[in-house]
Amino acid sequence: MTNAQKQDYGIALLPRTLEVARVLAGERAKSRFEAYQNAVKEYNPKAQKTLNVYSLDSDGRIVGSNIFGRTLLDKVTPKGTRGASMQDLLRLSDQEPELLRGTYEDTNAVALRSLNDSQNSANNYLAKTLAKKLNVRSFKEPLLVTNLEIKDDERSEYGLILVPSKNTNVIVAPQLSVQNRERKFTFYDQNGLPIFNDETDKTGKRQVWTRDSGISRLYLYWNLILNSGIENLASSFSVGRVVEVSDEVAGADLAEEKFAKIA
């Protein structure tokens, strides 16, 4: 089966959870893109500039991505479907590494390391407002903050701030500290965070990329590394992709037929 066919049918995530992951393309992409464009209109002009990152390519795929766009895209995702988490992306790239190689996929998550960003002062207001809403005053370790929402705020250089949702999780994530920059790993936990050990420090098939301060998006990079080292939260490139996960199997009795179809 070709990559295009896999994107159309989807890949069953293992272990068998009855979930299917796919690069957003075809009629799904068209529908989601239209809903997204309508949602963007509700924000201030500066925010709209930050959010206008997606387009449809000649193959019908949604291309481009940043953390703000990914967060808003989650808001227009239909019931039974969700944007992929880092654990989802790592699982998918373990099973079908060539499907995501050469692209990047944002998650709806950030690494929060400090209130002041030594590499991009535009992030300071964003980090401080998010930390305040999370009631975080100091940092011993980086925090992984997941399942965020965006809110209009023209005081932000992005025109937006990131705010917690009812599903937000805050996870202490020493794996994302600058001391682990370029450290190798193979295994990861339920949050998609690396599990380091002496063996995989030398032989691991992945790397984690980090930095020392501020707030960073969390995404799977083109060479399948876990990246939380980019200071520009609004940047977007044509190799950006969107991966969604859906619960397409209604019951266990249908599972084997569905898995056979997408294997």
The domain locations on the chain are: 10-247
SS3 per residue for the chain: CCHHHHHHHCEECCCCCCCEEEECEHHHHHHHHHHHHHHHCCCCHHHHHHHCCCEECCCCEEECCCHHHHHHHHHCCCCCEEECCHHHHHHHHHHCHHHHCCCEEEEEEEEECCCCCCCCHHHHHHHHHHHHHCCCCCCCCCEEEEEEEEEECCCCCCCEEEEEEEEEEEEECHHHCHHHCCCEECEECCCCCEECCCCHHHHCCEEEECCCCCEEEEEECCCCCEECCCCCCCCCCCCEECEEEECCCCCHHHHHHHHHHHC
pTM above 0.75, yes or no: yes
Q: What is the pLDDT along the chain (263 residues), one digit of tens a residue?
A: 444 444 444 566 655 557 899 999 999 999 999 999 999 999 999 999 999 999 999 999 999 999 999 999 999 999 999 999 999 999 999 999 999 999 999 999 999 999 999 999 999 999 999 999 999 988 999 999 999 999 999 999 999 999 999 999 999 999 999 999 999 999 999 999 999 988 777 888 899 999 999 999 999 999 999 999 999 999 999 999 999 999 865 344 434 443 333 33
Q: What is the pLDDT of residue 118?
A: 93
Query: Residues near 19 by Cβ (< 8 Å), separated by ≥ 6?
Result: 12, 13, 245, 246, 247, 248
